Structure 1
C-alpha cells in the first residue's frame, strides 16, 4: 500500500487520467472516479505508512480492507478480472493481520497505547 501510493504522487494527474479513461464505459459518474483517483494514492500511502510504523494498526487494516473492497467493486464494473486476484490477496492479508494486531510488541501502538 505504501509503495502504491508513493509511486503515484509524482504522476497523480496522469494516474487520474488513466483511471478516468478506464471507467469511461462504467456506470460510475466521472466526478466520482476523478475524486477517487486523486484520493486513492494518499489513502494507500497513509494506510501503508501506518502499517509500517504500527500506529493505529486496527484502523489502518480496516481502512485498507475497505479500499481494497472498493477497488474490487470497481474492477468488477469494468470487467478487469485480471486485477481482482491480487486485490483479494490484499484483503485476505489485511483480515489475517487483524487477527494478530496486538501481537507486535515493537509497534508504535504498543509504545503509545500500552494497556
Structure 2
C-alpha cells in the first residue's frame, strides 16, 4: 500500500469525527450555544468568551474535517485540530468533566501522531 493511501486511511476516522461533530452542531447552532453556556455556568471561563467559542467551534470542526477528507492543507488542519482539542480540554477541565477530557486527549494524541507521521515521512504535505 502506498504511504499516501495509508496516511489517508489512518486520518479518515479522525476526519469523519471532526466533520461529523461540526455538521451536527451547525444544524442546531443556537441549541449548541445554549447547551455550552448552561454547561459552563460553574466554570471560571466567562460567558462572554463561551458564546463566541460556541458559534466558532462547529465551523472550525467542520472545516478541519473537510480539509482532512479532501486532503487540502492537511498539516494546517492537524495543527488546528491540536489547538481545538487543547481549548476543549481546558473547558472540560474547568467544569471537571473528566470523561470528556479523556476523549479529547485521545483525539489530541491522534492529531499529534498524524502530524508527526506526516512531518517525518515522505508523505506529500498538501
Same fold (TM over 0.5): yes
The match for 1:38 is 55
Uncovered stretches (5+) of structure 1, i.e. residues with no partner: 110-115
Residue 69 of structure 2, aligned match among 42, 52, 72: 52
Q: CA RMSD in A?
A: 1.4
Q: Aligned partners of 1:75 and 1:103: how far apart in 2? A: 36
Q: 1:100 Cα deviation (Å)?
A: 2.3
Counterpart in 1 of 2:44? 27
Q: Distance in 2 between matches of 1:25 and 1:100?
A: 39
TM-score between both structures, scaled by the size of structure 1: 0.87
Q: 2:103 matched to which residue of 1?
A: 86
Number of matched residues?
Answer: 107
2:71 counterpart of 1:75: no
Gaps of 5+ in 2: 1-17
Moved over 3 A (4+): 102-105
Q: What is aligned with 2:6?
A: none
2:81 paired with 1:64: yes
1:4–1:59 CA distance, 2 compared to 1 (3 A): same
